[in-house]
Every structure is written in C-alpha cells, then in structure tokens.
Chain A
Amino acid sequence: MGLKENLHKLKKKYEGKKMAPAFNALHTFLYLPNETTHSGSHVRAADDLKRTMNTVIVALVPCLLFGMFNAGYQHYAAIDETLRAAPLENFFTMDNFLMGCLTILPLVIVSYGVGLAVEFLFAVIKGHEVEEGYLVTGMLVPLIVPVDIPLWMLAVAVIFGVVIGKEVFGGTGMNILNPALTIRAFLFFAYPTWMSGDKVWVHGAVERSKEIAGGANLDAISGETILGSYAQNQEVMYSLQDMFFGFIPGSVGETSKLLIIIGALFLIFTKVGSWRIILSTLVGALVMGLIFNGVVDAGWIENTSKFYGLMSLPFWEHLLVGGLLFGAVYMATDPVTASQTNKGKWIYGFLIGFISIMIRVFNPAYPEGVFLAILLMNVFAPTIDHYVLQGNIKRRQKRLKVKTA
C-alpha cells in the first residue's frame, strides 16, 4: 500500500463531509487529482491554476532571498557606515543572511499561516475547494512591508485583506482589489508610523531609538529610503549602482531592480505575466517623469519648493527608486484585478505608471504612490474593459447597419 492508495481511501472517506475541502487542498498539493473530463473537450492542457501561481512564486523567490541578505546588510551597515564602501564584499555574508532569516522568515510564516487559515476556514464554511490565489498573495505580502513591522499588525492586516479584499466578493477570481495591496493599504492607514519615516526600513532602528529615548547612550540607527530623501530635498547617499542592484533600504523585496527585471522576463517568457501591463506601466511612469522634468526645465518651479527634489529626478531614475518596478511586474499584472481585455491592459498599465509618479511627486509625506495607483486602477479596470467591449459591440452593430442600409 503506497501513500497514493492511502490518500485515495482517505479522500473517499472525507467525500461529502465538511472537512473535505481542507483535506483535498492538502491532497492536491501532493498529487495531481485523478479527475477526468466529463463534458466538452476530452483532453485538457497541462497547466492548472496551481502551476500558474507556482510560476509567480518562483519568480518571487530571488527577491525574497535578496531581501533576506539586504535586511542583514542594512542593519549592519547602519551601525558601521564603512560597510557601504564595498557593498559587494559585505553583502552576501552568512551574518547578513542569518539576520535576514531571523527577521523575514517570521513575516513569511505569519503571512502564509494566517492567510491560508482564513482561506481554509472560508472554504470549509462555504463548501468549495481551497483556491490557489493566496499562494501568491502570501508571498507578496512579506515582500512589500518594512522589515520591522510587528507580527501582530501583519496578522491583523492579513485577516482584513483576505476577508474584506477577497472573500466578501466570493473568493479567488472575484475580487476587485488586489488582496496583497489591500493588506498594505490597511497597514498604511491603520499604522502609518510603522509604514514610513526613516526608522522602519532598517532592522533594529525603532528599538534603538526607543532605547535612546530611554536614556541609553547609543548612536541612533536610521535608514531613510531614497524616495524619502528626495522628498525632503536631501542629498541621496546611494549610487545608481546600489539602486540597481538593490543595496538600499526599502520594503523587503522591492530593492533589487536587477532581480525584479529577471523575474519579469521569466513571467513574460512563461506567458504568466502580461507584458502589455508591465511595458505600459513603465511607459506611463516615464511619460509622467518627463513631464515633471519639463516643468523643472521650464523654470516653473523654484528649487525651494517641496516638490523640487522628486520633480527634478531624471525621469528614468524613477524606475530605479521605490517600488515602481516591483509593483509593475508583480502587482499590476494580477489578472483578476487588472483589465481583462488586451487593449484595456495598455490603458490600465499606462495609467498606473502615470499616476504612480504623480502621487510620488505630490505626496512628500509618504513618497510612494505605486500601491495607491494600482488600487485606484483596480477600481477602474472594469470601466476600462467596459469601453473596450463597447468598441467590439459597436463594430458588430455597424456591420448590421451596413447590411440593412
């Protein structure tokens, strides 16, 4: 008796019971089900939703691993500035990685644990199978939060995001807003002090400042993000190389542009991610960046203005700083919440990029607009699709008119 037969027997035993969805979710994780076609086409293509979601996770893993190293690196570099002189030598060290494991693995565990628990609960209550949507969300969440976020906050946010962002609409495939971004938005508006500023991006910074406030005689740790520095018209201490490779403070997974580009190419190659959305988002961002550069060049804005720092940033550098690239590749492309027509995807992506940079420039208190832009366009995606469909419908009606005329 192999494992396969035993599991099959258990499956039969649970059939029709309340716990069946929970058991099946685990069973199908091990084995592709023995289900055969019973209507329509007798053969089916190899891909299922699990495989699709798994592909996205594979594309995210390099970002996660890099984020672990980076968590340690930023922590030690904040204490010892000299480390930054040679980031390559001081980055991929065991110390960094261990520190990263210590800080980031709990985030991953909480995100998956809490999120999947909610998913299982809803599946059992509503009697449907556990759908795979959360596999990607659960991976995205730890990558888009600051490293030191308290775990209970994350747990609360995940529950909120999965229930309000997804399950109330009917679960995977039915949601209007991207669940991972809903979680981030919840954190941002509920606990703003933990989501921005110069203390949250480096592990240990908040704790250290508390100790200093308590009278301890220590050097403060701080790690302002590049966007934060620009927004406050401060000098930026990182080179373009640092930004591209990702040796900078920021949310866990967003810093390495190189790895995100590799992930994007993988998603496009596997045909899982929409190249239309990725490309048009970047184009939209560049266009908005160019407009702002134009404003600066035309001398319409004083260099004392609080918008000057980000407006004068060369348009292409917008792609290197902040979470724009990460958002464009992994969040905007969520097929459920994006535009569902190919034409609509161009418009949808372009507006995300365009609005991201606009929010980024005009919101110095919290200089990152990608997640707000994506959430906003999530809401408008059905509208875009509606007009694209109208084009098709009009064409059909015109055909009829030509006939009858």
Chain B
Amino acid sequence: MKLEEDLIIKFATANINLYKIMSKDIKVRKGLDLRLKGEAEKTISNAPKSKTFAIKPSEFHLVVPKMMVKEGAKVKVGDPIFYSKDNKDIKIVSPVSGTLTAIERGAKRVILSIIIEADAQQEVKDLGSLNVESSGAEVLKSRLLEGGCWPFIKQRPYDVIAEAETMPRDIFISGFSSAPLAPDYDFVLNGKEKELQAALTALSKMTEGKVHVGVRDKKSSVFSSLKNIELHSVEGPHPAGNVGTQIAMIAPVNKGETVWTLDAQNLVTIGELLLTGKFNPERTIAVAGSSVKAPKYYRTVLGSNLNGIVSDAGLNEDNVRVISGDVLTGKKEAKDGFLGYNANMVTIIPEGDDYEFFGWNKPIFNKVSTSRALTFSWLSPNKKYELNTNTNGEHRAFVLTGNYEEVFPLDIYPLQTLKACMVQDLDQMEVLGMYEVAPEDFALTEFICVSKQPHQEIIRKGLDLMYKEIG
C-alpha cells in the first residue's frame, strides 16, 4: 500500500516536472524598472497622413543594400526597394505607394536613406493568399522573403536578420515590453488574434523546436488562446520583457545553435501577408515621454515622417530629443525624422545639453540612480522621473565592479564580456557567452554605468567582429 502511494506521488511529481520544462514560470530578479513621466494614454488616434517616407538601410544591421529601383521610379506598397548584397533573397519592400524621390548617400557612397513621396491613392501589391495550415515551411518562407517580411525575423547569435536556409532550434517572441514607457502589447494587439495565429502557425513549421512566447499573464494575454506556441509567464523588472532575457531563462543559446526572435507587432504584418497576400505596414505606436503634451497611441505606417505625429501630440519644450523606439535602445531622430522599421513607439524627452553647477557632488533627487551616493531615488521607488539626455558625467575607464550584475539577469559576466569585446579577444568572447546576447541586453548596464562607457556599441562591435571572423 505504502509503495503504491509512493509511486503515485513520484508519478505526479514527474508529471509536474515535465510540465515545468514545457511551460516555464519565469521570475526575473535582477533588473531595473525605469519609471518615466509621460506614459501614453490608452486611446488610439489616427496619425496625420505622412507625405514622405524613408527607409534607412542602417536599420537592417549588416545588410549592404543593392537598389532594385532607380530614383524617380513609381513603387507600390510591397514592391521591393533593395535587396541584401550577401543574400539576394532578403528584400526590403516599400511601406507606401508613391515615387522614389531621393537616395541620400553618406561617406563612401553608403546609402543613408531612401526617400519615397506618397501618392494620394495607395496601391498595394497583392501576392495572393496562402493556406497557412496546409502549406509547407518552404512555401511559407519564400512567401515571407518575397513579401518583404523576412527582415522582421532576427537570429541569435549575432542579432542580425535570420538566414532563411537555417533550421532554428527554437523561435522566441516576447509578448510584452518592459522597457520604459513601452506600449502595452495586449492593448495594441487587441483584435489581431487571427493574424497572430497565422504568423505563429507558419513560424512553428520553420523550427525543429518550438515557438516560445513570454507573457506577463498567461490568462489575460492576447496570446493566451493561441495554438502552436509554448506560453511562458514572466515576472520581474525590466529586462524581463527583452527576448534575450527570456531565451536565457527558457533555453539559452549554445555554441553552434541558432534561434530566431521576433517582435510581437511584426507578427501581425507577417500574419496579414500570409492571409491576404498584402504587405500591411500599419503600426500602432505609443508616443510617450515627458516632453510630449498629450502622450497617447497613434495608428501610423512604418517609415512615416514624424513631424505629423510630433505636432499633433504637441511638445512641452523646444529643445527635445525625438527617439524612434524606447529610451534605452531607440534611435535618435530629428523632429522631422522618420519612424524606424522596427519601432513600436516614439519617445520624446528633453535634451540635456546644459551644465549643472556642482552636479557631481550635490544631493540628487530628480534623477535615477542605483547607488545611494547622495542620490535619493531609492527613497521613492515608485516616483516617476523626467530624465534628459545628459550623460551625467564624462567617459572614464571601467572602475566600479559588481554593480552591473545587479541589473543583468543573464548568467554571463557583463564587465568581463565587455572587456573581452574591447580588446577583441575572440576566444574569450566566445566562451563568455557572446552567442547568447544582443546589444539591447546591455542597455541597463549602460544606463547605470558610472564610467559612462557605450556598452551597446561595444557589444555590437564585438558581435560584428565575431560574425566576420567566426561567422
């Protein structure tokens, strides 16, 4: 009798363990939630229609663009504009129908941006719908490549656009963002279940493993009811919402393995392409930050000129920085700059290009700090701050140790990895875990860095070096 009971208990615990491996409840303990002023109000407005659009090849990291259309050509939504020199299957398509008016070049004739002037009447290239359930992986892949959705799929190692020929071990998608002022994905993706499901089903056929999705709440997320995925709940402070953190907690990337990552909003575009055959570059973005008068959500289009949104939302001051993306990882844009290809938000904060008298030794109450060296943000953990772009100090050599670890949840030594990148020690970079990381994983260590070192840039250069030397 006793033996039987034991067996039952053992069987039950074995089942539970099995369940745990399949769907994890992840608790992130290390990290930092940056609370900033100017959170977007949950109402969606239509952004003023943009007259000009831009595509910046630099957003597609390591892609050397080969133009497929000339200046003055007419393009439709979904028409390819350029392809990658190293992989001509990877095409970047136009988000708008109109006339390609200018190709702006920089030093060594590198293409900086491709400007397209919009027509009044939008025409969309139609590739015809696919039956996602019955199509094979190859058919789906070639549709994504053809339709311009492939650049949305990134891979680790190296954090670059995925190679279509590889079979990834797993695919990871973060179903929420924990970045400062980030949009609420459940709000933005509400009602897009059909497109999400199509994209997820298609992706599940392209991997030998699973499609893992990390969400805050397994029950209330838009992903809760979807099939062909492995749902994980993720608790804890930023960077809990970074896909890199979730990979590390679920199944870290080993040497020789490849995983793919996607942004949740891009899934909708992918799903729509598969279901309707049309490239729909529409995005719902959060416009937030302490310099925005009326922070809220806007329905807009990839590559749109930002001045419409900026003037509609209104600014509290003139001297501001407009960021396509969040404050930790976004790209700086001019006020009349353009929405990035992977952006899910626009943040506008004050520029900090002013001196501060005795700023280095007087007590500080209005800035965030993880130390308590006469900095008092620890007193009010829920206070919201109005941070500007000042570096709060000059660039120095690495001095402090042990502080990065407090905001870095991966089982990687951040300081040593950064130093290995700086001295280009490929062997050390490899064994310390560079295959697992992307620059965004080092955004928080960069934020708290007392020596004001450019962590994300160091990691990006390190990854590029590895890509070049090891491949």
Mark out the residues of chain A between 25 and 66 whose CB falls within 8 Å of any chain B CB in the assembled complex: 28-52, 54-55
Bound complex: CA of A38 vs CA of B405, how far in Å? 24
Question: Are B401 and A392 closer than 8 Å at their CB atoms?
Answer: no
Which of A33, A55, A395 meets B394, CB within 8 Å?
A33
Q: Which of B393, B396, B446 contacts A40 (CB 8 A)?
A: B446
B57 to chain A, nearest CB (A): 18
Q: Which of A82-90, A156-164, A284-292, A339-347 is found at the contact surface with chain B? A: A339-347
Q: Are A48 and B401 in contact (CB under 8 A)?
A: no
**In the assembled complex, which residues on chain B have CB atoms less than 8 Å from the CB atom of A36?**
321, 351-353, 389-391
- Residues of A contacting B454 in the complex (Cβ-Cβ under 8 angstroms): 39-40
Given contacts A392-B411, A392-B412, contact A33 B371 (CB under 8 A): no
**Pairwise interchain contact A274-B254, C-beta atoms closer than 8 A:** no
Q: Does B101 sit at the interface, judged by CB under 8 A?
A: no
B392, CB-defined interface residue at 8 Å: yes
Shortest distance in angstroms between A336's beta carbon and chain B's nearest beta carbon? 6
- Mark each residue of chain A from 342 to 375: 1 if its CB lies under 8 Å from any CB of chain B, else 0: 1001000000000000000000000000000000
Interface centre among B360, B367, B387 (most CB of A within 10 A): B360
List B427-445 residues whose CB lies under 8 Å from chain A.
431-433, 439, 443
Contacts of B367 in A (CB 8 A): 45-46
Any A CB within 8 A of the CB of B14: no
Least CB separation from B435: chain A residue: A396
Asked if A395 and B393 sit within 8 Å, CB to CB, the answer is no
What per-residue 1/0 map shows which CB atoms of B382-422 lie under 8 Å from chain A?
00000111111111111111110100000111011000000
Q: Which of A98-106, A115-123, A129-137 is the contact stretch? A: A129-137
Residue numbers in B under 8 Å from A153 (CB-CB):
none
Contact between A40 and B439, CB atoms less than 8 A apart: yes
- Whether the pair B450, A48 counts as a contact (CB closer than 8 A) is yes
> A residues within 8 A CB of B416?
340-341, 385, 389
For residue A126, CB closer than 8 A to chain B, the reply is: no
Assembled-state Cα–Cα distance A52/B399 (Å): 10
The yes or no answer to B370 lying at the interface (CB within 8 A) is yes
Bound together, the chains give a CA A233 to CA B319 distance in angstroms of 73
In whole angstroms, how far apart are the Cα atoms of A389 and B414 in the complex? 11
Set of chain A residues within 8 Å of B432, measured between Cβ atoms:
389, 392-393
B448 contact set on A, CB distance < 8 A: 45, 47
Most buried by B among A4, A47, A270: A47
- Please pick, from B347, B355, B452, the residue contacting A8 in the complex, using a CB distance under 8 A: B355
A46 touches B457 (CB 8 A): no
- Asked whether, in the complex, the Cβ of A52 is within 8 Å of the Cβ of B392, the reply is no
A17 contacts the other chain (CB 8 A): no
Whether the pair B397, A392 counts as a contact (CB closer than 8 A) is no
B443 touches A40 (CB 8 A): yes
Whether A335 is near chain B, meaning CB under 8 Å from some CB there, is yes
Bitwise interface map of B from 226 to 238 toward A, beta carbon under 8 Å scored 1, else 0: 0000000000000
From the candidates A34, A51, A395, name the one contacting B411 in the complex (CB within 8 A): A395
By the criterion CB–CB under 8 Å, are A51 and B374 in contact? yes
Whether A47 pairs with B392 at a CB distance below 8 angstroms is yes
Measured in the bound complex, the distance between the Cα atoms of B374 and A45 in whole Å is: 13
| Bound CA–CA A71/B329 (angstroms) | 55
Residue from B332, B390, B455 in contact with A34 in the complex, judged by beta carbons closer than 8 Å: B390
Given known A-B contacts A30-B358, A31-B357, A270-B372, A43 and B388 have beta carbons under 8 A apart: yes
Bound Cα distance A129, B327 (Å): 28
Cβ contact within 8 Å between A43 and B387: yes
Q: Which of A167-175, A191-199, A214-222 binds B?
A: A167-175
Query: A residues within 8 A CB of B197?
Result: none
Is B394's CB under 8 angstroms from A45's CB? Answer: no
Q: How far is the CB of A152 from chain B (nearest CB, A)?
A: 31
Partner of B403, one of A269, A271, A276: A271
Check if A13 is an interface residue, CB within 8 A of chain B: no
Q: A49 with B327: in contact, given A132-B396, A400-B254 (CB under 8 Å)?
A: no
8 Å CB contact of B328 from A42, A132, A400:
A42
Q: Which residues in B have their C-beta under 8 angstroms from that of A271?
A: 370-373, 403
- Complex alpha-carbon distance, A88 and B187, angstroms: 69
**Inter-chain contact A48/B360, CB cutoff 8 Å:** yes
Instruction: Report Cα–Cα, A33/B256, bound state, in Å.
Output: 45
Q: Does B44 contact A (CB under 8 A)?
A: no
Please judge, given known A-B contacts A36-B351, A46-B367, A335-B402, whether A399 and B392 are in contact too, CB under 8 Å: no
Q: How far is the CA of A345 from the CA of B397 in the complex (A)?
A: 20
Q: Is residue B264 contacting chain A, with contact meaning CB distance below 8 A?
A: no
In the complex with contacts A8-B355, A31-B355, A45-B360 CB distance below 8 A: no
Known contacts A47-B373, A51-B361; decide if A32 and B393 are in contact (CB<8 Å): yes
Cβ contact within 8 Å between A49 and B456: no
Residues of chain A in range 103-149 having any CB-CB distance to chain B below 8 Å: 129, 131-133
Q: Which residue of A lies closest to B420 (CB)?
A: A389
Complexed CA–CA distance, A336 and B397 (Å):
10
| Residue A12 CB within 8 A of the other chain | no
Chain B nearest CB from A132 CB (Å) reads 7
**Chain A residues whose C-beta falls within 8 Å of the C-beta of B391 in the assembled complex:** 33, 35-37, 44, 48
Nearest A-chain residue to B36, judged by Cβ: A43
Does chain B have a CB within 8 A of A338? yes
Contact B393 A41 (CB under 8 A): no
A338 CA to B402 CA, complexed, in Å: 11
Contact with B447, one of A41, A389, A397 (Cβ below 8 angstroms): A41
Interface-central residue, B330, B332, B364, B396, by most chain A CB under 10 Å: B396
The A-contacting residues of B in range 74-121, CB under 8 angstroms, are: none
Query: A393 contacts which chain B residues (CB < 8 A)?
Result: 431-432
Q: How far is the CA of A397 from the CA of B411 in the complex (A)?
A: 13
In the complex, whether A185 has a CB less than 8 A from a CB of chain B is no
- Cα–Cα, bound, A389→B430 (Å): 13
Cβ B433 vs Cβ A270 within 8 A: no
B224 near A: Cβ within 8 Å? no
Q: Is A272 an interface residue (CB 8 A)?
A: yes
CB-CB under 8 A from B332, the residues of chain A are 38, 42
In the bound complex, residues from chain A placing their C-beta under 8 Å from that of B353 are 34-36
Q: B357 contacts A4, CB within 8 Å?
A: yes
Flag if A269 contacts B372 (CB, 8 Å): yes
Contact across chains for A43 and B447 when beta carbons are under 8 A apart: yes
Q: How far is the CB of A89 from chain B (nearest CB, A)?
A: 35
Q: By CB atoms of chain A within 10 A, which of B34, B392, B415 has the most?
A: B392
A44 to chain B, nearest CB (A): 5
Is B42 positioned at the interface, with any CB of A under 8 Å from its CB?
A: no
Q: Which residues of A contact B457 (CB under 8 A)?
A: 39-40
- With A55-B374, A270-B372 as given contacts, are A46 and B392 in contact (CB-CB < 8 Å)? yes
What residues of chain B lie closer than 8 Å to A51, measured between beta carbons?
Answer: 360-361, 373-375, 393, 450
* Contact between A45 and B397, CB atoms less than 8 A apart: no
Complex Cα distance A10/B426, Å?
Answer: 43
For B395, the chain A residues whose CB sits under 8 A away are 129
What CA separation (Å) do A48 and B361 show in the bound complex? 10
Q: Is the CB of A48 within 8 A of B393?
A: yes
A39 contacts B456, C-beta separation under 8 Å = yes
Q: Bound state CA distance, A323 and B457, in angstroms?
A: 43
Given contacts A173-B451, A271-B373, A335-B402, 9 further A-B contacts (CB under 8 A): A8-B355, A34-B353, A41-B327, A43-B368, A45-B449, A48-B360, A51-B374, A335-B400, A385-B416
What 4 A-B pairs come out closest when comparing CB atoms? A48-B393, A32-B359, A173-B397, A40-B456
**B interface with A by C-beta (< 8 Å):** 34, 252, 254-257, 321, 323, 327-330, 332, 347, 349, 351-361, 364, 367-375, 377, 387-403, 405, 411-413, 415-416, 431-433, 439, 443, 446-452, 454-457
What would 30 A/B residue contacts be, using CB atoms closer than 8 Å? A28-B394, A31-B357, A34-B352, A34-B353, A36-B391, A40-B443, A40-B446, A40-B456, A42-B328, A43-B388, A44-B449, A45-B369, A45-B370, A45-B447, A46-B377, A47-B369, A47-B371, A47-B450, A48-B393, A48-B450, A51-B360, A129-B395, A133-B399, A172-B397, A271-B403, A274-B402, A276-B402, A335-B401, A335-B402, A397-B431
